[in-house]
């Protein structure tokens, strides 16, 4: 009697760490899309898992609930689209007005990008429900630029070119005064034409510096 030898099929190996991380990033990307398209309430773990080719069990093994997945997706987006320290430092070109213009445009251009726009819209929509994502956006996204600007204001005040007793507060005021208006147009899907944007930013920079310079005695 011939002995029949069973032929076993090769088993699929476990994914590498890099593959597992890539799948996780895909999950967070798709989750962000679902939350943006449907809102937090209407988006479901089932639909997100199906979209990325995972089971609900796999998603729940990493995230206890939909809120945890939402926070992770938004937090990752904030980290990914935050401006690097190198790019911020490159804005300082020696001329104060041009440096401030560069910093303002850096923030405006970030929001204008497809991913930056997506992130801002989901934060606007859901920050009442998740105040922590608004805080993260400020601390991770805006704070490095504001701190850098505050250091410039402190330097220029010490040199006698400005008279600012609260450089950090002045940096926040500058962002509100020069950046917030154009960003609102972008978020309303009515971005300013490039020439109008440049004109508004230049006017805001001049107005700020006129108010920040030492008074003639």
| Tens-place pLDDT, residues 143-169 | 999 999 999 999 999 999 999 999 999
Cα pseudo-dihedral 79, 81, 82, 84, rounded to 10: 110
Confidence bin at 216 (pLDDT 50/70/90): confident
Q: What is the mean pLDDT of residues 177-205?
A: 95
Banded pLDDT at 119 (limits 50, 70, 90): confident
Tokens of 147: 């701190």
pLDDT band at 217 (very low <50, low <70, confident <90, very high): low
User: Helix (H, G, I), strand (E, B), or coil: what is residue 173?
Assistant: helix
Reply yes or no on whether the pLDDT at 3 is more than 50. no
Domains of the chain: 17-79 (1.10.10.60), 83-212 (1.10.357.10)
What are the tokens at 204?
A: 């805001």
pLDDT digits (tens, 9 = 90+) for 53-75: 999 999 999 999 999 999 999 99
CA distance 100 to 205: 7
User: What does the angle CA 98 – CA 101 – CA 102 come to, to the nearest 5 degrees?
Assistant: 85
Distance in angstroms (rounded) separating the CA atoms of residues 127 and 61? 26
Going by pLDDT thresholds of 50, 70 and 90, the confidence category of residue 96 is: very high
Q: What is the DSSP string of 33-47?
A: HHHHHHHHHH--HHH
Give the pLDDT confidence score for residue 145 in this predicted structure.
96
């Amino acid at each position: 009697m011939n002995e029949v030898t069973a032929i076993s099929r090769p088993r699929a190996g476990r994914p590498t760490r890099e593959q597992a991380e890539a799948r996780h990033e895909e999950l967070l990307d798709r989750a962000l899309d679902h939350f943006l398209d449907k809102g937090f309430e209407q988006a479901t773990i089932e639909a997100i898992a199906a979209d990325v080719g995972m089971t609900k069990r796999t998603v729940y093994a990493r995230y206890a609930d939909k809120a945890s997945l939402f926070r992770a997706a938004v937090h990752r987006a904030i980290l990914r689209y935050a401006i690097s320290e190198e790019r911020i430092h490159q804005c300082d070109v020696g001329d104060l007005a041009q440096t401030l213009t560069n910093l303002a445009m850096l923030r405006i251009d970030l929001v204008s990008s497809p991913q930056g726009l997506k992130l801002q819209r989901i934060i606007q929509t859901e920050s009442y429900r998740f105040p922590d994502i608004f805080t993260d956006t400020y601390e991770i996204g805006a704070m490095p630029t504001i701190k850098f600007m505050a250091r410039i204001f402190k330097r220029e005040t010490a040199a006698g070119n400005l008279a600012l007793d609260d450089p950090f507060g002045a940096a926040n005021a500058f962002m509100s005064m020069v950046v917030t208006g154009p960003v609102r147009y972008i978020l309303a899907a009515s971005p300013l034409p490039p020439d109008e944007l440049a004109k508004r930013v230049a006017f805001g920079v001049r107005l700020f510096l006129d108010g920040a310079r030492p008074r003639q005695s």
